[in-house]
Structure formats: structure tokens, C-alpha cells
A and B are shown apart, each in its own frame.
Chain A
Amino acid sequence: QSALTQSASVSGSPGQSITISCTGTNSDVGGYNYVSWYQQYPGKAPKLMIYEVTNRPSGVSNRFSGSKSGNTASLTISGLQAEDEADYYCSSYTSASTPYVFGSGTKVTVL
């Protein structure tokens, strides 16, 4: 099972909006509404930011939003802040022999 494809890095200035994409196949991202997104700071555990494509867990800022079109899911961060600088990973449920697959990760830099 190959990792979902994410761009290696995305950057933006404070206050701007950025979008991170996550591309899979009909067997994972395109086949199920079970895409989730995780934020990870260096040396720390991942934190769930979005589940079921669009839903935010309690306590996650509404500046984070998720969407999906076909085999590509997206995470948008609006009103970019310095604290948003981190690595972001997508994940999807999959019909393959391994039930979950993660993306390759995107490093977000706040300029």
C-alpha cells in the first residue's frame, strides 16, 4: 500500500490562507469519507485536526477546514498564525489489505 501523496512543503504569510492536498485512489480517499488530518510539532505526537473529511474535533480552531473532491482531499488553514507551523499528515481508510494509509506529510512554514 503506497502512501497518499502530499506536497512536501507549503508556506504562507500570517493572515493568509493555505491549502494542503492529499491525493489517493478510488480504493482510499475517493472511496470513503474517512479522511482525517493530523498536526505534528517536532518531537511531539500527532494531533487529530479533522475527521470524516470535514469534521473538527472539539477544541480545534475553526480556522482549520477539510474538503474532498474525487481522489483528492484538502486541508485549508485560514488566517495563518505562527503556531500553525508544523507538519501535517492526511490519513484514509482503505479497502486494501492494510486498512489505513497515511500521507507523506507536508511541512507548513509561516513566513
Chain B
Amino acid sequence: QQQVKQSPQSLIVQKGGISIINCAYENTAFDYFPWYQQFPGKGPALLIAIRPDVSEKKEGRFTISFNKSAKQFSLHIMDSQPGDSATYFCAASIGSGNTGKLIFGQGTTLQVKP
């Protein structure tokens, strides 16, 4: 019940295309859903995050869509660029009381072809 399942494992997109990565969770107590971006040789860095009181959050070319009833959330990268090539991780935690640990999905390796 503590798992976060992420798909696909890898993704290849042409420059200018839309990249979509999906995550699903079971624990309804999760109330914070961040996405992290990791470049080779670096630690992951926060990209964008959402709480379940909204269905969508957009920051530039990056959008999180959240479906509470389906217990699913997804990352959309619009106008994908070669510089977006990285590994993306979804995560979830129980933010109430600020005591929750972050549980990560398995990661998606994105390659954007020029």
C-alpha cells in the first residue's frame, strides 16, 4: 500500500512533442505528490508538485494532472526539448503533520530526439 507505480519505464519523444508519464498509488492517506527530475551523475531535483485539492497544476511547459478518484497522477511535458532528456520520478508522501517520508516510483527515462 506504500508503493507508487510509475510507467512507462522509458520514453522516446521527438523534439516539440508531448511527453506523458503516469503514476498510480494505493494509499489514500497520501496528500503530496511531487515530481523529481534527475540528470546523469546528479541527485534528483524537485520539478513540480501538487496537492489533492486541485486537479491540475501548470508551471511553464510542465503540467501535473491529478485524478483523486482513480488514485492516479501524471506529468505532461509540452513542447519537449532535448534538454528535457533525463530520468523523471513521481513520489508521494503523507504531508499531514509534516512527518511523512517520500515514496518514489521506479522512474522513467525520457529521451527527446532533436
Answer whether A and B are interacting partners. Answer: no
Residues in A lying within 8 Å of B, measured CB to CB: none
Residues in B lying within 8 Å of A, measured CB to CB: none
